[in-house]
Amino acid sequence: MKAWFISRIAREKLLLLLFVGAAAILWITDLSERVRMTVRGLQETRAVLKIQAKWLGAKSSIEGEAADAVANLDSSRTFNSLRLSAEISTLAKNAGIDQNLRSEIQPTETTAQFSFNTVVVTLNRVDWVALRGFYDELSQRAPYIGIEQFSLESVRNNPADLNARLTVSSVEISKDL
């Protein structure tokens, strides 16, 4: 190979070197970019796998915690999303603010052992006393029903009127348990 190359005339040697050198540079440039992307992809995939392994390793303990969380709850007193919405309507009616109520059922989050239901409740132009009565009644349903978020604001032109927005959640235990 060396003898063949050296025995070429100078112009041929130079052209050969340029051609092979250019091919090497182009290939390596393209390759380095692909290597960089592959290595990054591999690192990310490994990181995801590591996190997944952590979760999988903790599966039994998490299932144990979940079982403990619902252990003291009576499944017959838990609420699905429809029952939750109906219960809130009943409480609002008892407080005399059912006309001011608007509720919106959020998507249910489900596991093998239980479901978690959420309803966003809006009460417009209600007075403090009625709202407090509604809240007190709602609190009586704990821990089967709980408030996750709460905001209250007074109406600008009439501070005695209040607009309340609550995110209310309930747990529903699977019948199999």
Partner 1 sequence: MSKLSLKLPVLQTRTREVMILPDHRFFMRSVALTDEAEAGSVADQVELALEGMAPFPLSQTLWGYWSKPGCAHALVFATYQKRFTADEMEDWSDAEWVTPALSTLLVESAPVPASTFILKGEEAMTTVHFGDASGVPTLVRAAAIEPGASESEIGKIREQLIRGCGGSTTVKDIDVAAVKAGDAGTDELIIDRGGEEATVALDDAQTLDVRDHTELVARRRARVRDSWLWRGMVAALVAILLAGVAELSLWGTSFYQTTLSEQVQVQSPIVSEIETAERLATRIEELRTKRLRPFEMIDIVSGPRPDSIIFRRTAATGLYSMEIEAETDDAQAVSIFVSDLTDLETTEEVVPLNNETRGSISTMRLLVRFSLDAFDTAAEIEPETKEVE
Q: Is 125 in the site for partner 1 (CB under 8 A)?
A: no
Q: Which stretch binds partner 1 (CB under 8 A): 54-62, 80-88, 95-103, 119-127?
A: 54-62
Please give the structure tokens belonging to residue 147: 């408030």
Q: Is 55 in the site for partner 1 (CB under 8 A)?
A: yes
Long-range contacts at 110-113 (CB < 8 A, ≥ 24 apart): 111/66, 112/174, 113/63, 113/66, 113/67, 113/70, 113/173, 113/174, 113/177
Q: Is 62 in the site for partner 1 (CB under 8 A)?
A: yes
Residue from the set 11, 33, 49, 88 that interacts with partner 1 by CB under 8 A: 49
> Taking the complex as a whole, how short is the minimal distance between the CB of residue 168 and partner 1, in angstroms?
10
In our burial notation (b when 16+ CB lie closer than 10 A, e otherwise), range 54-76 reads: eeeeeeeeeeeeeeeebeebeee
Q: Which stretch binds partner 1 (CB under 8 A): 81-89, 97-105, 119-127, 146-154?
A: 146-154
How many residues form the binding site for partner 1 (CB under 8 A)? 74
Residue from the set 31, 82, 86, 129 that interacts with partner 1 by CB under 8 A: 31
Residue from the set 94, 99, 122, 154 that interacts with partner 1 by CB under 8 A: 154
Beta strands 101-105 and 158-173 are unpaired
Helix, strand and coil in the chain, % to nearest 5: 55, 25, 15
Q: Is 90 in the site for partner 1 (CB under 8 A)?
A: no
Q: Is 109 in the site for partner 1 (CB under 8 A)?
A: yes
